[in-house]
A and B are shown apart, each in its own frame.
Chain A
Amino acid sequence: DAGITQSPRHKVTETGTPVTLRCHQTENHRYMYWYRQDPGHGLRLIHYSYGVKDTDKGEVSDGYSVSRSKTEDFLLTLESATSSQTSVYFCAISDVFSETEAFFGQGTRLTVV
């Protein structure tokens, strides 16, 4: 299995509080991604990174920010959590895109109450 770890795996937080999710990889892959998945739906891309300090928005980036200060870590921050951000969050990594696959973490289940 690819070395990708998400933390925490589960979190309950209150509306309006900041929350940071961490994705850590040991594969030295260039690309890192954050997705969210809501019940009965496919994954939607929040933000992604194509290198240290290089990030870009995905299709559902509002209310989220990211940072990547080193190759192995990609942080997702909810500045002020809302109930609509209750979801399962997946991190993914990939290297040379068309030549290799993306590897996904096990997910973080976030509940905003």
Chain B
Amino acid sequence: DAKTTQPPSMDCAEGRAANLPCNHSTISGNEYVYWYRQIHSQGPQYIIHGLKNNETNEMASLIITEDRKSSTLILPHATLRDTAVYYCIATSGSRLTFGEGTQLTVNP
């Protein structure tokens, strides 16, 4: 699995878009990019995943650069409940390897 690099922490104002970057410069062609988040001490929650194309669902949008070496998770209108640790994972197999993630704090 490709190594991913994320900033350790980010802040965002409530109601604004939160843009969380992830670098995966060694990603291979068959590896997907997954995003999960973990709120407080709960089990991680799936957000979105993609291979090449940008993806959008009811929670977020995933923008993957054309060379696939980086991606950005976008929460369009962050709320206080979006405060969590966000994990970016690149994998082609059946295992998810978690890094340290980004602590996103949404401020009132």
Tell me the A residues contacting B by CB distance below 8 Å.
31, 33, 35, 41-45, 48, 50, 58-59, 88, 90, 92, 94, 97-98, 101-107
A90 and B43 in contact (CB under 8 A), knowing A42-B87, A42-B99, A43-B98? Answer: yes
Most buried by B among A101, A103, A106: A101
Query: B95: CB under 8 A from chain A?
Result: yes
A106 and B94 in contact (CB under 8 A), knowing A41-B100, A42-B87, A42-B99? Answer: no
Residue of A nearest to B51 (CB): A98
Name A42's contact: one of B34, B45, B98 (CB within 8 Å).
B98
CB–CB A48/B99 < 8 A: no
User: 7 closest Cβ contacts across the A-B interface?
Assistant: A104-B43, A101-B46, A42-B98, A43-B98, A97-B94, A104-B44, A42-B100
CB–CB A45/B97 < 8 A: yes
Which residues on A sit within 8 Å (CB–CB) of B97? 45, 59
Q: What's the dominant secondary structure at chain A's contact region? A: strand
| Chain B interface residue bracket vs A | 20 to 34
> Given known contacts A43-B98, A97-B93, A101-B49, what 18 new A-B pairs fall within 8 Å (CB)?
A31-B94, A33-B95, A42-B85, A42-B87, A42-B100, A59-B97, A90-B43, A92-B43, A92-B96, A94-B94, A98-B32, A98-B49, A98-B51, A101-B34, A101-B46, A104-B44, A106-B43, A107-B43
* Nearest Cβ on chain A to B24's Cβ, whole angstroms: 15
When chains A and B are docked, how far (Å) is the Cα of A50 from the Cα of B94?
8
Contact with A along B13-24 (1 / 0, CB 8 A): 000000000000
* Nearest Cβ on chain B to A50's Cβ, whole angstroms: 6
A102 and B96 in contact (CB under 8 A), knowing A90-B43, A90-B44, A107-B41? Answer: yes
